[in-house]
A and B are shown apart, each in its own frame.
Chain A
Amino acid sequence: RKEVEQDPGPFNVPEGATVAFNCTYSNSASQSFFWYRQDCRKEPKLLMSVYSSGNEDGRFTAQLNRASQYISLLIRDSKLSDSATYLCVVRGGGGSYIPTFGRGTSLIVHP
């Protein structure tokens, strides 16, 4: 089983739609969780951290389910500019602080 797994997509949605991505992780001792966004041919940029109680930033909501070992990202009212690859990142556990990246989920928002 891969350490961090994501559905690569692509998710193809119309503007205004709500879309959700899940990411599962294998190390139950993982301590930090993040969502990054990567545009084509650019570097990944932090979208938001994921907290145990869940957190929201505008149209974006992140959730953590430790029991089932997954995190989720919900995007409401999708914009064309949301088209990108969304990377799930997990850190910590087993004495290592190295961030482990999922392969990313591609989102395409169309008019």
Chain B
Amino acid sequence: ETGVTQTPRHLVMGMTNKKSLKCEQHLGHNAMYWYKQSAKKPLELMFVYSLEERVENNSVPSRFSPECPNSSHLFLHLHTLQPEDSALYLCASSQGQAEAFFGQGTRLTVV
């Protein structure tokens, strides 16, 4: 609906698992973002990929690793996560200074 599609919508994984979140945008945007939103907390920027800049939030643990093979696709690879990593993971895209559009998010539960 918004042009930004995230899969899966829900994910339950054990602490020893490896999984990947996928984001795809069909809007022709040149920047893509990963955000984390824990319960009752504000959005936390994790990673940004754009033509102008690539940004990594230094507080994000190395058990999260992004991959951006092209301007339309963004992945978040997960391994050996902790229960406190359970959250809503949101992908967004934007073009220049215009507004960002969000995907519906992946609700991740680490058990």
Closest to B4 in A: A43
B42/A97 in contact, CB under 8 A: no
Q: Could you name 18 residue pairs across A and B whose Cβ atoms are closer than 8 Å? A: A32-B98, A41-B107, A42-B104, A43-B90, A43-B104, A44-B43, A44-B90, A46-B99, A97-B50, A97-B96, A98-B48, A98-B55, A99-B33, A99-B92, A99-B94, A101-B42, A101-B43, A103-B41
Question: Residues of B at under 8 Å CB distance from A?
Answer: 2, 31, 33, 41-43, 45, 48, 50, 52-53, 55, 88, 90, 92, 94, 96-105, 107
Knowing A97-B31, A103-B42, say if A91 contacts B102 (CB, 8 Å): no
Closest to A49 in B: B99
Contacts A46-B101, A97-B94, A99-B92 aside, 14 further interface pairs with beta carbons under 8 A come to A31-B97, A32-B99, A41-B107, A43-B102, A44-B43, A91-B97, A92-B97, A97-B31, A97-B52, A97-B96, A99-B33, A99-B94, A101-B45, A103-B41
